[in-house]
Amino acid sequence: MPTNNPSASWLTPAQVAGFAVGAGFSGTALRIAVAVSFAENPAHDPASVGDATLTDAKWGPSIGLWQIRSLKADAGTGKERDARALDNPAFNAKSAYTISGGGKTWTAWTEFNNGGYRAKLAEADAAIKANGGKSGGVVGDPDVPKEEADMGLPAAILAAINNFGQGLFRMGLNAGALIVALVLITLGVAVLMREPIRRGAAHTARVAGAIVPGGKAASAAGKVAKL
């Protein structure tokens, strides 16, 4: 029996079923997968560690919801027996899916071989029904924060939230770029218009001087030309 962490980190049966659904299990394979998990890890503790006395130079302990036996060579690689990722419920479920050949071969699990999972089939059926077919966590991604995965949210909803956030970010960048562009255009127009204004003022001064030589009009136009 695995060693469990404080109960605050344990999942509900329906959440375990959700991670099995998310990993790809369906039909009879889903029933067996959930029942095997319940038999291997009755507390539904995603970080539970078992078979510690069986570790050697090659094999590490069994970890997580499906008590996946870890390989020391896989640590940190993201492979299905990576001990650093197996406490992630979604990753653990995906590892179970891969190792079982998509739910076709369960001989790697003690509780399947000794028939212990059969006593958990009714509980598994209830959990699957309570879950309602929802996928728990982002399957196969060892970087999913555990608190997010434990929520049991469908992967599609999590993806939609992520896409929405990215869209808002892009909109913010586009709005900022538009404001900067408008400011630059305004400054450019002001610079371009300054010279024609100066030339127009000078021309006005010359005309005024011609009409009223040395008069007030010429003097006033001359002041404008100095702008």
From residue 102, give the alpha-carbon distance in Å to each of 7, 31, 70, 93, 137: 30, 13, 19, 11, 18
What lies within 8 Å, CB to CB, of 191 at 6+ separation is none
- State yes or no: pLDDT of 103 exceeds 70: yes
pLDDT of residue 223: 40
Torsion of CA 1, 93, 113, 117, to 10 degrees: 70
Q: For 5-23, what is each residue's pLDDT tens digit?
A: 555 568 999 999 999 999 9
Report helix angle 13-23 to 121-131, nearest 10.
80
Would you kindly state where each structural domain of the chain is located, as residue ranges?
7-153, 164-225
Asked if pLDDT for residue 225 goes beyond 70, the answer is: no
Contact 166, 49 (CB under 8 A): no
- Residue pLDDT, tens place only, 159-191: 555 555 555 445 554 555 567 556 655 665 555
Say whether 164 sits in a helix, a strand or coil. Answer: helix
pTM (two decimals): 0.59
Give the number of other CB atoms < 10 A from CB of residue 193: 10
Q: What percentage of the chain's residues is helix, strand, coil (to nearest 5)?
A: 60, 5, 35
CA 27 from centre of chain: 28
Q: Would you say residue 158 has pLDDT above 80?
A: no
Amino acid present at 140: G
Question: pLDDT of 192-210, one tens digit each?
Answer: 455 555 555 554 444 344 3
**Residues 125, 128: Cα–Cα separation, whole Å:** 5
